Amino acid sequence: MRIALLGYGKMGKVIEQIALQRGHEISAKIDISNRTELLSVNADTTDVVIEFSSPESAYGNLKYCMEFGLPTVCGTTGWLQHKAEIEKLCNENKGAFFYASNYSIGVNLFFELNKSLARLMRPYTNEYKVSSNEIHHTEKKDAPSGTAITLAEGIIENLGNKVKWVSNQLANEDELPIWSSREGKVPGTHEIKYISDVDQIEIKHIAHSRNGFALGAVIAAEWIQGKAGIFGMQDMLGL
């Protein structure tokens, strides 16, 4: 399979290594330094695009891919105000678009655990206060992380007494606080806490490296080839 990489930072380089190990070919490596070469990415040269760039570049990259019907796997966060438009373009051009805030298999199992715990805690919202904490490396540009937002959405959907999340600020009773920290080279840590006067319940996911994210993205690229529509990790994992 011929894979074009849009975004060739640390994550892009790990994706490249894993793709090559799995027998794939890298047809293009596009970053801000050679952005004009995006025009060379087309159906004649590329089977699937993997987009891990930046919040500033993602929308333009994805618009290009959708307009030309290129199957695309995207892991960039911080651009989701345009997601509905990208999905509309994908459907209009009978393309394939796969988005996840986190491609780690473990994190996606953690998403399901988070939803289940929220449902279990629903009768006890008067006793327990819920909060979310996330830590990432200092080079991560957006906060809260896309993974933290997905976790927050899972809580809001299932807990019943929260209507929105707030970032790095004290929350009202109907709000879920997400506390974000940027430290060193931390690949990603996410923690959900339910605290009462008598005890505390916590679930936590700690990533040890970028390899889990990269492997998941390459597997998604393999899975999406030949399909049409809008997909995510739940589709691929059958969750």
**CATH number of 215's domain:** 3.40.50.720
pLDDT for res 199:
98
Question: Which is nearest to 78 in space by CA: 162, 2, 167?
Answer: 167
Mind listing the pLDDT tens digit for each residue in 1-34? Answer: 999 999 999 899 999 999 999 999 999 999 988 9
Q: Which domain holds residue 74?
A: 2-99+211-237
Catalytic-residue membership of 136: yes
Q: Is the domain of 25 the same as that of 78?
A: yes
pLDDT of residue 141 exceeding 80: no
Is 103 annotated as a binding-site member? yes
CATH number of the domain enclosing 130 = 3.30.360.10
Distance CA 75, CA 60 (A): 14
Catalytic residue among 29, 82, 83, 140: 140
Q: Is the domain of 124 the same as that of 177?
A: yes
pLDDT for res 78:
84
Q: Phi-psi region for residue 32, left (φ > 0), alpha (ψ -120 to 50) or beta?
A: alpha
Catalytic residue among 136, 162, 190, 205: 136
Share of the chain above pLDDT 70, in %: 100
For 124, the token pair is 């006890």
pLDDT for res 185:
87
pLDDT for res 139:
83
Share of the chain above pLDDT 90, in %: 84
Q: Domains in the chain: how many in total?
A: 2
For 103, the token pair is 């491609």
Mind listing the pLDDT tens digit for each residue in 167-182? Answer: 999 999 999 999 999 9
DSSP 149: H
By the 8 A CB rule, do 53 and 77 touch? no
By the 8 A CB rule, do 7 and 52 touch? yes
Mind listing the pLDDT tens digit for each residue in 62-121? Answer: 999 999 999 999 999 889 999 999 999 999 999 999 999 889 889 999 999 999 999 999
Is 116 annotated as a binding-site member? no
The mean pLDDT of the chain is 94
Catalytic-residue membership of 141: no
pLDDT for res 142:
81
Is 100 annotated as a binding-site member? yes
For 81, the token pair is 């105000």
pLDDT of residue 146 exceeding 90: no
Q: Is the domain of 122 the same as that of 193?
A: yes
Q: Is the domain of 132 the same as that of 57?
A: no
Q: State the pLDDT confidence band at 227, using cuts at 50, 70 and 90.
A: very high
Question: Which is nearest to 8 in space by CA: 70, 46, 54?
Answer: 54
Is 122 annotated as a binding-site member? no
Is 189 annotated as a binding-site member? no
Q: Is the domain of 140 the same as that of 111?
A: yes
Is 131 annotated as a binding-site member? no
